[in-house]
Structure 1
Amino acid sequence: MIPGFLISLLTFPGVVLHEFAHKKFCDLFNVKVLKVNYLTLSGDGYVIHEKPKDFKSTFWISVGPLILNSVSCFVLGLITASQILHAGALYYLAGWLAISFGAHSFPSNHDVEHILKESKNRIQNNESFLHYLSYPFVGLIKIANLLRFFWIDFLWAFLLIGFAFNIFNQNVFAQDSTQKNKAERPSDTLVVGDYYCSRFHASESEKIDPINKEEVKMLENELMADNLYLETLASEIKNMHVDEYSQESIDRYKLKVNYYDQKFEEYNDAYSLYSFKRALYNEMAEKYNNYLKENCEMRSN
């Protein structure tokens, strides 16, 4: 097994943020801080402060790291997800910090003992029965600390990062869908051409020509842009350096190829939609022209 102090040193940013959270919540509730050591040689840190005046201060100072470290882990998880296709320095830095922050989220048993002690005092003074709710919370934290032997603190970090990846992917999918549909369908325009139609009504345009020419042109332009993007991706893949002895290099290449395949499938779907719209437009345009010939008169110059 890896010694605990070594894990703390490898993930020292999480230790520093843990103690920083204690200090900031002390400042927030006007509790004087006497001494702070963000990181010791043993891989731990500590904050010495005056006794809080009320239960609320005790509670939030104790659980401060659970809030700040978890939120920081989630935010850095989003940054990591945004960099997954690049896998550069920012990707690895954000990933390391996310794991470090998340793994040191749980308050220590010493922290939650303060909550338990204050709850007992409030209950003995016949204050709100809601203080009983602190018992299961303290129990859960103590169980989590016992399970650190089974890496539950790192499991918590990876759960937060996984949730961030899921949120990021859903957001990207929603943005892609919005961009595809952001252009509102143009209103049908009556184009009579060389015909003069005194009996022609606007309602007939909707019946005969529901597919606007501009809509078909817009789809065609989107296909051209997608095709250019696919060519750029293919060129990047072709020029990628793959070290057959490096699993990381191979995985990065496979990820890029899979992304290209996904975009190629999307391109094929878009092309099918364009072909359908184009054929439908041609059919409707023919009906429209026939209507003009049957119901309108040629304009004389």
Structure 2
Amino acid sequence: MLVQGNYIALVTAPGVVVHEFAHQFFCRLFGVAIFDVKYFQMGDPVGYVQHEPVRNPVHQLFIGTGPFFINTILALLIAFPAAIPVFLFNDGSVFDFLLLYLGMSIGMHAFPSTGDAKVLWDTLWLGKNVSLWLRIVTLPIVGLIYLGALGSMVWLNLAYGMGIAFGLPILIVRYFA
């Protein structure tokens, strides 16, 4: 399974890079020191950001879930201008198909990993001085991350990437047309 996962990661490497960049972006935003970043590698994990423990637990919530928001928004912004000619007018260029591939690839890697979920859990549930409201908010998020990981076994991440890159632009255009 790892070999197959490596090939998928290689084909969707732009999404892996954006995923790790999103973690790094939120670390920088909150002044969390970064020790090491691997944007892409053929191995397990395919990418990572190692950072110091956060001083404010809310920062860990943003660092851990950042890829969901950054990847989703970027995938939509990249794919939107290409989805219109390809899917609505059946008239796409090679560049349009490249943009759709990039959007789908980035969208596929929007889900935080189980490693991200573990860090969230350890920091926000097992950590000290974490407010009750933050723990309550974190519980379903960690659960959803693990469900997303299970769903990736049946290509949920691919369906999400396609939905963001292909489906959402079509729905938006049809709604406003």
The interval holding the TM-score normalised by the smaller chain is 0.7 to 0.9
Q: Distance in 1 between matches of 2:9 and 2:51?
A: 23
- Return closer, same or farther for 1:11/1:28 CA change in 2, 3 Å cut-off: same
Partners of 1:125 and 1:25 in 2: CA distance:
21
Deviations 1:25-55 (A, max 9, x none): 1000000111111111238111111111111
- In structure 1, distance between residues paired with 2:129 and 2:27: 25
Corresponding residue for 1:37? 38
Check conservation: 2:124, 2:130, Cα contact below 8 A: no
Distance (whole Å) between structure 2 residues aligned to residue 118 and residue 25 of structure 1? 16
Partner SS state of residue 171, structure 2: helix
- Tell me: CA distance 1:119–1:91, structure 2 relative to 1, closer, same or farther (3 Å): same
Say which of 114, 117, 121 aligns to 1:116: 121
1:224 corresponding residue in structure 2? none
For 1:106-255, what aligned pairs fall within 5 Å after superposition?
106-121=111-126, 125=129, 127-161=131-165, 162-171=167-176, 173=177
Q: Which residue of 1 aligns with 2:17?
A: 16
Corresponding residue for residue 80 of structure 2:
78
Indicate the RMSD between aligned Cα atoms, in angstroms.
2.0
Q: Alpha carbons of 1:22 and 1:127: their partners in 2 closer, same or farther (altered >3 Å)?
A: closer
Aligned amino acid, residue 97 of structure 2 = Y
Amino acid at match of 1:88: S
Q: What corresponds to 1:100 in structure 2? A: 105
Q: Deviations over 1:130-185 (max 9, x none)?
A: 422211110111011012110000111122231122102333x2xxxxxxxxxxxx
SS of corresponding position for 1:35: strand
- One-letter identity of the residue aligned with 1:55: P
1:74-116: CA deviations, max 9, x gaps?
Answer: 1223112233233102211111001100111111111111221
Give the aligned length: 171
Q: Which residue of 2 aligns with 1:68?
A: 70
Using structure 2 for the length normalisation, give the TM-score.
Answer: 0.88
Unaligned 5+ segments in structure 1 are 174-301
Distance 2:130 2:31 in 1: 26
Bigger relative contact order, structure 1 or 2 (CA pairs below 8 A, ≥6 apart): 2
SS at match of 1:3: helix
Distance 1:116 1:3, change over 3 A: same
* Gap change, CA 1:120 and 1:78, over 3 Å in 2: same
TM superposition shift of 1:126: 7.5
Determine the structure 2 residue equivalent to 1:90: 95
Letter in 2 for 1:10: V
Helix, strand or coil: the match of 1:19?
helix
User: What residue identity is the alignment partner of 1:165?
Assistant: I
Q: 1:205-227 deviations in whole A, cap 9, x for unaligned? A: xxxxxxxxxxxxxxxxxxxxxxx
Ranges in structure 2 where 5+ consecutive residues have no aligned partner: none
